[in-house]
Amino acid sequence: MSPQLQHLTSQFNTILNEYQETSKKYTELVNKKDAILTQIPNYSFLGETNLNVLGNSNVSGCQSACSKNTSCSGATFNTISNNCTLSGGKGNIVHNAKSIAIVEQAIYYSNRLKELNNQLSSLNEQIIVISNKNYNAYSQNKTLTKQQEVIMVNNHNVLIHERKVLKHIMNQFQTLNTAYEDGNMIVNANYMNYVVLLFVVIFLALLFLRTAISSPQYGGGLHKSAGKVLNFL
């Protein structure tokens, strides 16, 4: 709960307690039909009829004059002119910074209940507005948090996928590298066999030539001996 909402809620509860106490007192006065007068500063009483206006008075004398007049249901004392206006019949009290209303306590409590009710209504409206704002902010934060969670999950899945791809690539590289090394070994082995075979062939060729050159020429010697025999004969 925000500090502003806490403050408004505290005010609402305080005024609500006063409203409940005032309502209880008002009910008791109505049931007793008690006509005790009370003074309400900064208010004026507006009755159905004006009974009398007393000049050069004071608030206590004005209250006493109304109490003695059976037709007086309320009075207004003007703090500037010191006039006291007695009124009869049903009436209401209204704000007036220059006056003091003198009315029955039931009327005072009734008016106070109206004021408290208006204050409670105003506070309640403010609480609703702030609550809605807080709820909207909470919803936005919750939505944002949810979006962040989704993004994190997606990123996690992407990382897992990329890890699998990287692992597959590494496996392929290792396989190709192994095949390359095996191929090099085979090529090297074949090359060595070829070199050895070449040396063997060269060696055999040289050996053959040497043998051919160093062998005796039997055909030529026999021809010469035959010539000598013929000559002898």
pLDDT per position as a tens digit, 149-200:
555 555 556 556 555 655 655 565 455 455 545 555 554 556 566 666 666 6
pLDDT band at residue 128 using 50, 70 and 90 as cut-offs: confident
Percent of the chain with pLDDT over 70: 57
Residue 16 inside a domain? The answer is yes
Q: Quick one: average pLDDT of 132-147? A: 64
pLDDT for 171 equals: 61
- Of 107, 93, 106, 111, which is closest to residue 46 (Cα–Cα)? 93
**Confidence category of residue 9, pLDDT binned at 50, 70, 90:** confident
The pLDDT value recorded for residue 190 is: 60
Report the chain's mean pLDDT, rounded to a whole number. Answer: 75
The answer to whether the CB of 84 falls within 8 A of the CB of 53 is yes
26-35 pLDDT per residue, tens: 888 878 776 7
Residue 82: per-residue pLDDT: 95
What does the pLDDT read at residue 15? 92
Number of structural domains in the chain: 1
pTM over 0.75: no
Residues of the chain with pLDDT > 90: what percent?
A: 27
| Owning domain of residue 33 | 3-134
Q: What is the mean pLDDT of residues 19-44?
A: 86
Domain membership flag for residue 27:
yes
The predicted pLDDT at position 218 comes to 47
Most confident of 35-39, 82-86, 194-198, 212-216: 82-86
Instruction: Report if residue 156 sits inside a domain.
Output: no
Q: Tell whether 162 is covered by a domain.
A: no
Q: Is the pLDDT of residue 227 over 60?
A: no
- On whether the CB atoms of residues 31 and 121 are closer than 8 A, the answer is no
- The CATH code of the domain that includes 103 is 3.50.4.10
The answer as to whether 142 is a domain residue is no
Residue 194: per-residue pLDDT: 61
Q: Confirm whether 37 is domain-assigned.
A: yes
- Report if residue 194 sits inside a domain: no
The verdict on residue 146 lying in a domain is no
Q: Yes or no: say if 8 and 116 are a contact pair by the CB < 8 Å rule.
A: no
Cα–Cα distance list, 82 to 14, 32, 63, 148 (Å): 36, 33, 13, 73
Q: Lowest-pLDDT range, 65-79, 83-97, 103-117? A: 103-117
Chain mean position to CA 232: 138
